[in-house]
Amino acid sequence: MASDRSFTDSFIDEDPKRALEELNVALGETAGNAEWLCQRAYAHILLQNYNRAVDDAKKAQQLQPGMAIAFLRTGIAEYHLNNIGAAHQAFTTGKGLDDSNEAFQTWITRCEERMATQSQNGTSNVQTATLPIKHDWYQTESQVTVTIMVKNAKKEEVMVTFEEKELRAEVKLPSGEDYCLHIQLLHPVAPEQSTYKVLSTKVEIKMKKTEAIRWEKLEGEGTLSNMKHFAPSANQYPSSSHYTRKWDKLVGDIKEEEKNEKLEGDAALNKLFQQIYTDGSDEVKRAMNKSFMESGGTVLSTNWSDVGRRKVDVNPPEDMEWKQY
């Protein structure tokens, strides 16, 4: 029976994404299985889907109020969401249900350390930076990039979590304050293909679009009627800039300039040959290619009826000597 199946921690550790898919199927058949909900919360934690982990763990608590592990899952997810007070409460409740599990005390201590630090800085559980931290965004056909303008952030003190329609970024600023950016995205992204980098001047977040559509804005609720496919004109080079060039027109202008350019000496002669070749018939082009190649570049003929019947000999100018290398 499906309800007899067990999803162990080791099974989920091995491949969280696959485990999540199988748990989704199992819970689709038996939605009220508290153990499976608790284990799906664990898979979500490993995949950094913390809000979904909280939802599943709390459902498991409602179904089985004495399930200590459900409170552990809740606490861990809340901690990563920077809800330290809620995390501490979940760990404390869980420890009361299962005092033998040392993980509860470890997490309780960690929460108390965080709360003490925040108290010293005069901040609440969810700190808001007093400094004006700006963020910006732009898009390409396949990605949406969000940039947080914070300098000298430490990689280990930056945490970014992706969900299908949600972005959350937490940054410990050099001043000791916590900066949190929480965005409900306009359209879905692919969390498993989204990444971020911590640079010396900024935190750069790249989210993979699920569809090649143009986002009118970063946040909000998108509907199908508002979706426009991201399809730059064939005559425009894709760019994040608001200014676009008509590249066919630019190429035409360059060609016109080259055509009207006045050249002298060898340059003028070469241009003449190029023009003859460009405007010539297939026979003219064959004659020019054959005569030039066979004569080592010393003869250039446009008469195919002549050079087509014979091998073109080398014929250097009178004041020059032909040498083969």
Torsion sign (Cα): 148, 150, 156, 159: negative
Torsion sign (Cα): 65, 70, 76, 81: negative
Task: Please report the pLDDT score of residue 63 as a whole number.
Answer: 93
Q: Are 37 and 57 in contact (CB under 8 A)?
A: yes
Most distant CA atoms of the chain, gap in Å = 106
Return the bridge partners of 145, or none. Answer: 138, 206
Q: How far is residue 174 from each of residues 18, 50, 151, measured CA to CA in Å?
A: 38, 26, 8
Task: Please report the pLDDT score of residue 284 as a whole number.
Answer: 85
Q: Are 162 and 195 in contact (CB under 8 A)?
A: no
Task: Please report the pLDDT score of residue 239 as a whole number.
Answer: 43
- H/E run at residue 214: strand 213-214
Task: Please report the pLDDT score of residue 290 as a whole number.
Answer: 84
Residue 20 DSSP class? H
Rounded distance between C-alpha atoms, residue 218 and residue 234, angstroms: 26
What totals of helices (H) and strands (E) does the chain contain, helices first? 11, 9
Rounded distance between C-alpha atoms, residue 274 and residue 272, angstroms: 5
Please give the full DSSP string across 115-148, using - where no structure is assigned.
HHHHHHTT--SS---SS---EEEEE-SSEEEEEE
Averages of pLDDT over each 10 residues, the chain, 325 residues: 72 90 89 91 90 92 93 93 90 92 90 79 48 82 92 88 90 82 90 91 93 88 56 46 51 60 63 76 85 80 86 74 57
Task: Please report the pLDDT score of residue 196 as a whole number.
Answer: 93
pTM: 0.42
The residues, ordered by sequence, that sit 6+ positions from 40 with a Cβ below 8 Å of its Cβ are 7, 20, 23, 24, 27, 56
The residues, ordered by sequence, that sit 6+ positions from 268 with a Cβ below 8 Å of its Cβ are none
Type of residue found at 163: E
Q: Are 147 and 137 in contact (CB under 8 A)?
A: yes
Residue 258: CB atoms within 10 A of its CB come to 10
Task: Please report the pLDDT score of residue 264 as a whole number.
Answer: 61
Task: Please report the pLDDT score of residue 62 as a whole number.
Answer: 92
Rounded distance between C-alpha atoms, residue 183 and residue 55, angstroms: 18
Pairing of strands 189-198, 178-184: unpaired
Task: Please report the pLDDT score of residue 195 as a whole number.
Answer: 93
Task: Please report the pLDDT score of residue 1 as a whole number.
Answer: 43
Pairing of strands 158-163, 166-172: antiparallel
61-90 core/surface letters (b: 16 or more CB in 10 A; e: else): bebbeebbbbbbbbbbbbbbbbbbebbbbb
